[in-house]
Chain A
Amino acid sequence: MKPYQNEQDLLKGLALGDKQTIEIIYKDHYNLIQSLILNNNGSADDAKDIFQEAMIVLYEKVRSGRFELNCQLKTYLYSVSKRLWLKKLSTNNHFVSTGVELEQSFPVEEEVEAHERRDAEFDMMEKAIASLGEPCKSLLEAYYLNKQNMQVIAAAFGYTNADNAKNQKYKCLVRLKKIFFAHYKNGTDHE
């Protein structure tokens, strides 16, 4: 893996969502995080969830253009995972054993909190889209998420022409926005 020696190159690859880069980071660091979780009352499935969440925190960070971690990638993932896991344990009312290799930690509280806010927003979006029902859900996903061309979408969904599909799409979008903003405003009121 010579071309990926540099961690900054890895992070740049990650920002582009490159599969090979993800595999390299995964291979190098997954086992460490898994043993952290397994040694602290977690299951293998928990380990997978936590590691993937930490990867998402990292992904969001590098996507905003910051490739400077100020620490090793390994330390970063470890600190984020530990923070996430401690939070999860404390919400589940488990006894939290403190001082788990604290010396390896790196302050990540702010990033984890920002991640949780974003996660809640994405969750809202996911629920809003799911509650639309078909064909709205697939139509909007095809256009806005998978960036498919309107002609292609019209053909795939069986509309007679792209204009009809487009009209339908805007009707769906109006509905989606109403649902999303209703939840979004509620969500921000509570905070």
Chain B
Amino acid sequence: MSEENRLEAVERYIKGEMNPDERVAFEQLRKSDADIDQLVVEHTFFLQQLNRFGKWKKFRSLLQVVHTDLAEQGSIRSTRLQGKARIVYLFNRYKRVGSIAASIALLTTLCISAIIWIFSPPSPHSQFEELNKKFTQLEYKTSKQATEIDQIKRSSAIPVDMPFTTGGTGFIIDPRGYLVTNAHVVNGAHTIVVQNNRGEYLATVVLLDKNRDLAILKITDDSFKGYGSTPYSISKKAGQLADPIFTLGYPRNEVVYSQGYLSARTGFDGDTLSCQIEINANRGNSGSPIINRRGEIIGILNGRQANAEGFAFAVQGKYIYQLSDSLRKADPSYTIRINGRSAISSLDRSEQVKRIQDYVYMVKVN
């Protein structure tokens, strides 16, 4: 009898799944074979242990859910120290380490950027493939369509049979209706519609940065209600190699989850604006948020290498902050407030995804 079969018999015996004849035979065996007897005792203990572990684990994740919910509702005092108190606390805690780290970082950055600047070859951009969907049969536009579109834009309601030619993904960075997506998704767009299971809204581009391949959209639709605050934050840090990450995007007409890890801290051909991630990305994933396990967005997926499968590139999250700063400078009426602390840091992956998916939109472009 193999080890697995023996274990199966013991487990069925403990769980009372044996029929009476089997049971009698097994009890005989147990009396005559001390090893089997020992295995029964040991396995009973192990199953109890496993069972208690399961309950404990469930209870712990329930506590996290309750904590997050109550903190969001404001039923318990906010989880962080506010204003001055927090700064004093952080300063005292990190002043020594911080100053050493800062000087080392500065030195390293200077050396590395000098080396990269000297040695980097010109990049072969033809290998880079943008991940926006192209519905080829719709790509040509007749002048008739163009006039139709102009009419539609004036009417400000979403037309019923609008032919969308490309698309991608975008996500909310400010709960009043500001989204981020890739510049290549919305470049040259006449009409932009964003859609998820909350609804379908018209949006316009407020800022386009082709160098960094980022764009900020604003939902202009009157029917858009806004949110409380985003559950995730946007991290200014690039993250560590091998950090597990996941993404939500719209390669199909439905939100799709996939997971992977951070595989290099620079992007395509040594590009320092972006990083490389090992993830299954498809057309339509452009603009998807790349989220770490603490529920912080560390990047925006923007493309993959044409001749390689399984990995993709992402623009680093800190450029979202730069983009919103430059938007404020260009037009002070736009002030984007980005959540700096994730409210879902200690939740299970599935709970995190549940909370994030309402904030991720399919971006449809004509």
A contact residues vs B (CB 8 Å cutoff): 17, 19, 22-23, 26-27, 30-31, 34, 38, 43-45, 48, 52, 55-56, 59-60, 63, 118, 121-122, 125-126, 144-147, 166-167, 170-171, 173-174, 177, 180-181
Task: Assess the A177–B46 pair: CB atoms within 8 A.
Answer: yes
Interfacial chain A residues near B50, Cβ < 8 Å: 125, 144-145
Are the CB atoms of A52 and B4 closer together than 8 Å?
A: no
Closest-by-CB residue of B relative to A27 is B75
Are B53 and A125 in touch, CB under 8 angstroms?
Answer: yes
Least CB distance from B74 to A in Å reads: 11
Which bucket holds chain B's interface residue count? 35 or more
B49: chain A residues within 8 A (beta carbon): 121, 125, 180
Tell me the nearest residue of chain B to A47, going by C-beta. B79
Interface check B125, CB cutoff 8 A: no
| Cα of A60 to Cα of B52 in the assembled complex, Å | 9
Most buried by B among A31, A52, A60, A181: A52
- Chain B interface mostly helix, strand, loop or mixed? helix
Contact bitstring B276-306, A, C-beta under 8 A = 1, else 0: 0000000000000000000000000000000
A34 — which chain B residues lie within 8 A by C-beta?
Answer: 76-77
Residues in chain B near residue A181, CB distance under 8 A: 42, 46
Cβ of A173: which chain B residues have Cβ within 8 Å of it?
A: 7
Contact B7 A22, beta carbon cutoff 8 Å: no
Whole-angstrom CA separation of A27 from B71 in the bound complex? 10
Q: Name the distance in Å between A22's Cβ and chain B's nearest Cβ.
A: 5
CB neighbours (8 Å) of A122 from chain B are: 52-53, 56-57
CB contact between A23 and one of B3, B66, B79, B346 (< 8 Å): that residue: B66
Partner of B81 from the list A44, A146, A177 (CB cut-off 8 Å) is A44
**A146 cross-chain contacts in B, Cβ below 8 A:** 54
- Residues of A within 8 Å of B3, CB to CB, are 174
Q: How far is the CB of A161 from chain B (nearest CB, A)?
A: 16
Q: Determine the residue in chain A with the shortest Cβ distance to B90.
A: A43
Which one, B54, B55, B57, B70, contacts A63 given CB within 8 A?
A: B55
Q: Which residues of B contact A19 (CB under 8 A)?
A: 62, 65-66
- Nearest Cβ on chain A to B222's Cβ, whole angstroms: 36
In the bound complex, CA of A75 to CA of B207 (Å):
56
For chain B, residues 35 to 80, give those with C-beta under 8 angstroms from any C-beta of chain A.
Answer: 42-43, 46-47, 49-60, 62-67, 69-70, 75-80
Q: Is B129 an interface residue, CB under 8 A from the partner? A: no
